């Protein structure tokens, strides 16, 4: 059974006695900076020169400095730039300015797990990874609730790295919901596996194949869109509330019986073998190397795949249909984080 931690298990005073630098002010960065600030923690935001985010952070009353300056004064440095940018930002701006006993924090273990960042021995290395998008993390906090987080210590130089990580998680509001103890290796490998095989990769391909199968058989694209994409959210909400059992309870007996007899014809045991191969590439670093090498080359493969995905017919159908319906997701929903892009 996983070890769980709640507000009563953590001492907010630990993080309140530290100066915290939040590097980056994107999805996670803004949520960490604002939640910690509102929990009474001294926060500075570190941004690159000419950063487009500076004005946004200052509007919220936060102090913004250039990354090196923000780091120089900090006891805790939370790195919240995109994973592929962290190695460069660390080498150029963080490492040369880091206090010898400052703690390094991450919200995902990628750079530590694959050795792109190797902090010196004097630093605590911790992870507080909220299990939700940054905008949800902020909104839940403001509503007096929290998004659960998983917490890990990779290097305990101070002897009290765990108490520090737990205190940070409490200031984020995460322990209102609960924190689970993990390791950098477990978080990184399971996070990559989940998004690749089920959440992002698996679901996207399943939708595209479903849409192609119906439209190639002559059905209207708009109808196909409803059946294989729009309703997915409704199904996932039920699974989220009460597991697959609640989803099966709520849908018709026809749908439930079809689930049992046809699901295993679509997702065959071969799919599980493919998942094991994807997991092996994550574990041995093949995926990480491919991602970072492409990013270092200017992301040609990434950009080509992104363009191909955006040109799939299900995207065009969706764009037109969403304009016509009252349930359409608006740009305002995207901006306040109620919808994920
Ligand atoms: P974002 O893409 O939202 O980060 C954007 C921020 O990083 C901006 O402030 C941007 O600066 C800055 N930035 C980008 N490139 C550079 C660079 N080369 N040098 C300096 N600053 C740079 O990141 P996320 O919030 O999505 O992810 C941050 C971390 O959190 C990652 O480790 C991710 O895996 C993890 N995570 C993310 C989740 C999410 O929901 N997004 C969920 C859980 C964990 P500027 O403003 O100047 O453009
Ligand atoms: Mg991830
Ligand atoms: Mg139906």
How would you class 24 by CB atoms within 10 Å of its CB: exposed for 0-12, middle for 13-18, buried for 19 or more? buried
- Domain ends where: 147, 182, 217? 182
- Domain ends where: 182, 212, 244? 182
pLDDT at 325: 82
For residue 273, give both structure tokens.
């073998």
Q: Do 70 and 28 sit in the same domain of this protein? A: yes
Closest to 267 in 3D by CA, of 192, 205, 193, 212: 205
Residue tagged active-site, from 32, 108, 123, 135? 108
Q: Do 229 and 173 sit in the same domain of this protein? A: no
Is residue 334 scored above 60 in pLDDT? no
Ligand nearest to C-alpha 132: 1
Q: Which long-range contacts (CB under 8 A, 24 or more apart) does 34-39 make?
A: 34/60, 34/62, 34/138, 34/141, 35/137, 35/138, 35/141, 35/171, 35/172, 35/173, 36/168, 36/171, 36/172, 37/61, 37/62, 38/141, 39/12, 39/15, 39/170, 39/171, 39/172, 39/173
The Cα–Cα gap between 68 and 203 comes to 40
What pTM did the predictor assign?
0.92
Is residue 208 scored above 70 in pLDDT? yes
pLDDT at 1: 87
pLDDT at 324: 86
Is residue 114 scored above 90 in pLDDT? yes
Instruction: Tell me how many domains the chain contains.
Output: 2
Q: Do 149 and 274 sit in the same domain of this protein? A: no
Query: Within 13 A of 136's CA, how many CA atoms are on the CB side?
Result: 12
Domain-embedded: residue 187: no
Range of the domain at 318: 192-335
Confidence of residue 333 (pLDDT cuts 50, 70, 90): low
Calculate what percentage of the chain has a pLDDT beyond 90.
94
Confidence of residue 338 (pLDDT cuts 50, 70, 90): very low
Q: Do 197 and 178 sit in the same domain of this protein? A: no
CATH of the domain at 281: 1.10.1040.10
pLDDT at 328: 57
How would you class 53 by CB atoms within 10 Å of its CB: exposed for 0-12, middle for 13-18, buried for 19 or more? middle
Q: Compute the average pLDDT of residues 186-211.
A: 98
Q: Do 139 and 286 sit in the same domain of this protein? A: no
- Residue 72 in contact with residue 99, Cβ under 8 Å? yes
Output the CA 323–ligand 2 centroid distance in Å: 30
**Best residue among 21, 22, 23, 27 to mutate for probing ligand 1, ranked by most atoms within 8 Å of CB:** 27
pLDDT at 340: 46
pLDDT at 292: 98
Residue pLDDT, tens place only, 54-102: 999 999 999 999 999 999 999 999 999 999 999 999 999 999 999 999 9
Lining residues, ligand 1, CB within 6 Å: 24-29, 47-48, 51-53, 80-83, 85, 89, 107-108, 129-130, 133-134
Domain-embedded: residue 54: yes
For residue 253, give both structure tokens.
């007996």
Is residue 153 scored above 70 in pLDDT? yes
Q: Do 159 and 66 sit in the same domain of this protein? A: yes
Q: Do 61 and 148 sit in the same domain of this protein? A: yes
Residue pLDDT, tens place only, 11-48: 999 999 999 999 999 999 999 999 999 999 999 999 99
Output the CA 150–ligand 2 centroid distance in Å: 13
Give a three-class secondary structure readout of 81-147.
CCHHHHHHHHHHHHHHHCCCCCEEEECCCHHHHCCCCCCCCCCCEEEEEECCCHHHHHHHHHCCCCC
Residue pLDDT, tens place only, 237-288: 999 999 999 999 999 999 999 999 999 999 999 999 999 999 999 999 999 9
pLDDT at 284: 98
According to the annotation, is 265 in a ligand binding site? no
Domain-embedded: residue 249: yes
Calculate what percentage of the chain has a pLDDT beyond 70.
96
Q: Do 23 and 168 sit in the same domain of this protein? A: yes
Looking up tokens 């209207």 gives: 220
Q: Do 128 and 222 sit in the same domain of this protein? A: no
- Domain ends where: 129, 162, 182? 182
pLDDT at 134: 97
170: Cα separation from own chain's centroid: 19
Domain-embedded: residue 124: yes
**Global ipTM:** 0.98
CATH of the domain at 13: 3.40.50.720
Domain-embedded: residue 199: yes
**Top-confidence residue, 332 or 42:** 42
Secondary element (H or E) of residue 65: strand 63-66
Using CA positions, which residue lies closest to atom 11 of ligand 1?
Answer: 24
Q: Do 67 and 9 sit in the same domain of this protein? A: yes
Q: Do 126 and 270 sit in the same domain of this protein? A: no
Domain-embedded: residue 341: no
Is residue 215 scored above 70 in pLDDT? yes
Q: Do 201 and 276 sit in the same domain of this protein? A: yes
Give yes or no: 135 in active site.
no
């Amino acid at each position: 059974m996983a070890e769980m931690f709640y507000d009563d298990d953590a001492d907010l005073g630990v993080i309140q006695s530290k100066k915290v630098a939040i590097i980056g002010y994107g999805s996670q960065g803004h949520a960490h900076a604002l939640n910690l600030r509102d929990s009474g923690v001294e926060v500075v935001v570190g941004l690159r020169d000419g950063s487009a985010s500076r004005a946004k952070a200052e509007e919220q009353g936060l102090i913004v400095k250039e990354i090196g300056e923000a780091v120089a004064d900090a006891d805790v440095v939370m790195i919240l730039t995109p994973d592929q940018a962290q190695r460069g930002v660390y080498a150029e701006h963080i490492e040369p300015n880091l206090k010898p006993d400052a703690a390094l924090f991450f919200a995902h273990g990628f750079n530590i797990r694959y050795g792109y960042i190797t902090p010196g021995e004097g630093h605590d290395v911790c992870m507080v990874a909220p299990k939700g998008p940054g905008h949800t993390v902020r909104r839940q906090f403001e509503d007096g609730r929290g998004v659960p987080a998983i917490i890990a210590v990779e290097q305990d130089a101070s002897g009290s790295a765990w108490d520090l990580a737990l205190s940070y998680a409490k200031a984020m509001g995460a322990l209102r919901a609960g924190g689970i103890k993990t390791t950098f290796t477990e978080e990184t490998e399971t996070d990559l596996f989940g998004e690749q095989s089920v959440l992002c990769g698996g679901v996207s391909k399943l939708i595209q194949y479903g849409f192609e199968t119906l439209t190639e058989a002559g059905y209207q694209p708009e109808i196909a869109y409803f059946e294989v994409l729009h309703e997915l959210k409704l199904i996932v909400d039920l699974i989220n509330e009460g597991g697959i059992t609640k989803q099966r309870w709520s849908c018709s007996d026809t749908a439930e019986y079809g689930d049992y007899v046809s699901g295993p014809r679509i997702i065959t045991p071969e799919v599980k073998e493919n998942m094991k191969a994807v997991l092996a590439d994550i574990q041995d670093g093949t995926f990480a190397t491919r991602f970072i090498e492409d990013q270092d080359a200017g992301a040609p493969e990434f950009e080509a795949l992104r363009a191909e995905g955006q040109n799939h017919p299900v995207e065009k159908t969706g764009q037109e249909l969403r304009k016509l319906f009252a349930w359409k997701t608006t740009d305002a929903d995207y901006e306040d984080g109620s919808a994920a892009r």
